[in-house]
A and B are shown apart, each in its own frame.
Chain A
């Protein structure tokens, strides 16, 4: 924050009054932009608590209705043949397993790329970077055929197992950047004491890397939670649906008659992501900023 203040004094050579005007105008612009951007979200939240007959008669208001109630939540929760409780459980299981898989597999690979010397390291690292750019459609159909032949379709396995094989190369990249910043002297001292690569990985690198591991865990959770395409393809039994898949079914079957229930479940679907945003905002923002900077 101090650097921001320094910058202001350095960059701005204008007179104090002019500076003040510029500052007020900037704040006004930013506040208007914030309100415009967040308005739809506030509207959704307000609508989810309104009685059904008020949703479209209350216009653009985001103020809570005096007749507010939880009817939409109750209706929405039981709006499909399977309770939304089951869908939330499914989403949590898939996202939780994905987090474990991604953190384990990607940190192993990242440690090898960042710290170990072996023939072909640069080549494999370049290969890993190439997969970052790859549109998933190009592996989609053979993967589907593979999982179909293994009998995995309509289970969670196609959604979870790839995470244990470090298929999300983005997180390898993220961790490599972080591991490279850990002083090499620590490894060398440990090696002097007879520690092998595994001990160094487990006792030195991982404990010092909690910020990046947490960032990877949170992003994995959010992306898996939000994922629509994977579940759409691999899950066909309603009892195994994720929340996002359930929402879509909701739109198809009852949504056109029960807007309240649909909005209420949409709000609930966003709650876990919003919770991560509230508690780990700094970590998320730093994660984006640091990976973005490495060109």
Chain B
């Protein structure tokens, strides 16, 4: 459908053929010329590499010698004989399942509080946004490592209550939770998106509901939340994909190992170590394709189910 040529500007019958083609050129060439840098990047850095990595995922490739065809070996090994793969999947899913809903809940809660016409809204909004802006930095990961260390800030606070806390980052039962807290700490950007969404809700809906005697609680469930579902949907997708891709915090906090006992071995960190630590580029490509399939399946599933719970009024 998209490739049909628009000739409407160029047709009056009897016009000579060269000027017809000139019309086609003048109508369509500028668009492609403006897109030229993007096209080079799209084919050279995106489509080409995606297809290449699909091919590499069926090979053994160490970067020094040519790839050797391996058939399904990489995928078979992944699902039948690789405890680290299983561990990294588990860690990543726990991270996604806890960090995303909690982050969104905080974001929505604070946005609702701020949206009540609070004085100083812009100051609060800026303060809550700051961690989102800084949080991706290695510097913050280093700070986090200190906060949850044995002699770190958290334990110093606990000590004032007479509690001797463990070293949170070197305990496999708690290390992943320090990363989840780091993710939740950055609830500022979804909060801003929720705030913008809350402002789009027409005020007369609340007026009408108040006149009918609906309580605030009821108004939230019957007006605010349904009207906000498109924003919830958007935030959930973006944050989930971001959570799957998260790399830096686990790398810094575990010193690149994913330890202790693989408890912070994010999928992306495992992939990095396979590719650039052990130069198993074929296996790492297969890992990348499994990640792509997971993200694509999640996105497709979200869009398919969205019509049952996302409210579109237009």
Residues of A within 8 A of B (CB): 1, 3-8, 10-13, 22-23, 26-27, 29-30, 33-34, 37-41, 43-44, 56, 59-60, 104-105, 108-109, 111-113, 116-124, 127-128, 131, 133-146, 148, 162, 164-167, 172, 196-198, 201, 222-223, 226, 228-229, 232-233, 244, 247-248, 251-252, 255, 259, 262-263, 265-267, 269-270, 273-274, 277, 281, 284-285, 288-290, 292-293, 295
Binds A, one of B12-20, B79-87, B96-104, B108-116: B108-116
Q: What is the CA–CA distance of A38 and B126 in the complex, to the nearest angstrom?
A: 12
Tally A-B pairs: CB < 8 A. 297
Q: Which residues of B contact A267 (CB under 8 A)?
A: 139
Give the dominant DSSP class at B's interface.
helix
| Chain A residues within an 8 Å CB radius of B4 | 119
Verify B27–A118 contact, CB threshold 8 A: yes
B residues near A (Cβ < 8 Å) are: 1-6, 27-32, 34-38, 40-42, 44-46, 48-50, 52-53, 56, 63, 110, 113-118, 120-121, 124-131, 133-134, 136-140, 142-147, 151, 153, 156-157, 159-160, 185, 189-190, 192-193, 195-197, 199-200, 203, 206-207, 210, 216, 219, 230-231, 233-235, 241, 244-245, 247-248, 251-252, 255, 268, 271-272, 275-276, 281, 284-285, 287-289, 291-292, 295-296, 299
> Shortest distance in angstroms between A130's beta carbon and chain B's nearest beta carbon?
9
Q: Closest chain A residue to B196 by CB distance?
A: A289
A-side contacts of B190, CB under 8 Å:
292
The answer to whether A293 touches B134, judged by C-beta atoms less than 8 angstroms apart, is no
Which residues of A sit under 8 angstroms from B52, Cβ to Cβ? 141-142, 145
- Hey, which chain B residues are within 8 Å of A196, CB to CB? 30
CB distance from A5 to the nearest CB of B (A): 6
**Contact assessment for B118 and A27 in the assembled complex, using a CB-CB cutoff below 8 Å:** yes
| Most chain A C-beta atoms within 10 Å of own C-beta, residue among B32, B52, B146 | B146
Task: Pick the contact of B193: A104, A232, A292 (CB < 8 A).
Answer: A292
Known: A112-B34, A229-B248. 13 other contacts (CB 8 A): A7-B116, A26-B113, A118-B32, A119-B28, A121-B2, A137-B287, A143-B45, A144-B275, A148-B63, A288-B189, A289-B193, A292-B231, A292-B234
Say what secondary structure dominates the interface of chain A.
Answer: helix
Contacts A108-B34, A165-B44; is A292 near B197 (CB within 8 Å)?
A: yes
| B37 engages A164 (CB within 8 Å) | yes
20 residue pairs of the A-B complex, CB under 8 angstroms, read A30-B114, A59-B159, A59-B160, A60-B160, A104-B37, A117-B31, A118-B28, A121-B2, A137-B291, A165-B38, A228-B248, A244-B137, A248-B138, A251-B252, A266-B138, A266-B143, A273-B133, A288-B192, A290-B196, A293-B197
Q: Among the listed A10, A144, A148, which residue makes an inter-chain contact with B203, where contact means beta carbons less than 8 Å apart? A: A10
Establish whether residues A142 and B134, one from each chain, have CB atoms under 8 Å apart when the complex forms. no
- Asked if B38 and A128 sit within 8 Å, CB to CB, the answer is yes
Neighbouring A residues of B124 by C-beta, 8 Å: 30, 34
Q: Please report the C-alpha to C-alpha distance between residue A49 and residue B114 in the assembled complex, in whole angstroms.
A: 35
Q: Distance in Å from the Cβ of A4 to the closest Cβ of chain B?
A: 4
